[in-house]
Amino acid sequence: FNKVQPTGMPKPGETTTRGTSELDLSSVPLNGGVITRNIAVSLDPTMRNRMKGDIGYFTPPYVVGKPVTAIGIGEIVRSEAEGFAAGDIVYAWSTGIEEYTIHPAAAVPTFRKFDSEQLSNGLSITTYLGAAGMAGMTAYMSLKEIVGDLKPGNKMFVSGAAGAVGQLVVQLCHQAGVKVIASAGTDEKCDFVRSLGADESINYKTEDLPAKLKAFAGETGIHYYFDNVGGDQLEAYISVAARYGIIVACGYISGYNADKPEDVVYPKNLFNIVTKEIKYQGFIVSSFIPKWIGQFMQEVPKMLAEGKIKNREDVTFGVYGAEDAFLRLFTGENNGKVAVLIDTE
């Protein structure tokens, strides 16, 4: 549950709390909704933004005293929704970090049912929260929509490159023949992103990121930037961007725990977006899903099952581990997609 709005880093037990409910799930009114027995949930950095109250964000803020919701996969145990029956396994954006969730009727149109092929291709259920889930969709669909055809030989900078979204961006760009420089917060993560195909890596905590980017940019500049973090790294990219560079503005995690605008680092060289004619485009992945989900579900799970792309994940077992697992997104202690396996049997 969201107990109070956090200031800075959330504190398990203080800003979030645990609870139990004695509802009889066999008779609780559903009003057109469904109940799922939850198998796994995804923990995503943007959930921190939803703890800030109403900041005009695209998804509604969490309500203090109510369960924190996330993207999850569950088995329907009762349904009043047309097209969904007990036994169906669904991907649901309204899943609570809890064992059972009562989903309102309004949430049902965003459900996606798993087919037998997806459940039998050997991928773990948590992969469908990572590279084959929303994180993967974010990488795949934003590259398609915002960059379009990745041009072989062009250069890409990816920040947050060892994370859930970043690791797929690195692999898709490398496979398209793009030269990739990738940043991450530890040497081990840097080794990992190079093993995925990055040509160069930067430990942004210990190395001179602007200097390494400048060397990589050479005469041409860097054509694309996939921005997961914002702040200093965004500023450094703008300085070395090629003319007509493209920034895929995916996230700004360096500012998510800031409570006041003045605590967020913003680039001081934004005017270069004008002078270099840079395209700087933000997006919310759910806007791209209707157009790209078919192609994505055909291609990406297959590539994962065949080992053509990798998905490193950071899975916590049991619902009570969720609070600590969430913090790892902000300390950088996570290694890949953060997910919680609720059904551990």
Instruction: Tell me which of 146, 184, 303, 340 binds ligand NDP, using CB under 6 A.
Output: 184
Per CB under 6 A, the segment of 145-153, 171-179, 234-242, 332-340 that binds ligand NDP is: 332-340
Nearer CB in complex with ligand NDP: 45/96: 45
CB of 260 to ligand NDP, least distance (A): 16
Q: Rule CB under 6 A: is residue 46 a binding residue for ligand NDP?
A: yes
As a dihedral over the C-alpha atoms of residue 299, residue 303, residue 305, residue 306, rounded to 10 degrees, the angle is 130
Nearer CB in complex with ligand NDP: 325/329: 329
The pair of structure tokens assigned to 171 is 């692999």
Instruction: Report the chain's C-alpha Rg in angstroms.
Output: 20
Nearer CB in complex with ligand NDP: 79/311: 311
Instruction: Tell me which of 10, 33, 45, 267 binds ligand NDP, using CB under 6 A.
Output: 45
Q: Rule CB under 6 A: is residue 163 a binding residue for ligand NDP?
A: yes
Give, as ranges, the residues between 286 and 325 that touch ligand NDP (CB under 6 A).
none
Which residues lie below 8 Å from residue 31, measured CB to CB, with a gap of 6+?
80, 104, 105
Q: Rule CB under 6 A: is residue 285 a binding residue for ligand NDP?
A: yes
Q: How far apart are CA 44 and CA 133, in angstroms?
A: 12
The pair of structure tokens assigned to 248 is 């895929």
Q: How far is CA 302 from the centre of its chain?
A: 20
Interaxial angle between packed helices 164-175 and 187-195, expressed in degrees from 0 to 180 and rounded to the nearest 10: 40
Nearer CB in complex with ligand NDP: 185/301: 185
Q: How far apart are CA 316 and CA 303, in angstroms?
A: 25
158 to 164, 211, 216: CA distances (angstroms): 12, 16, 13
For binding to ligand NDP (CB under 6 A), which residues are involved? 44-46, 135, 138, 160, 162-166, 184-186, 189, 228-229, 250-251, 253-254, 283-285, 329-330, 332, 334, 337
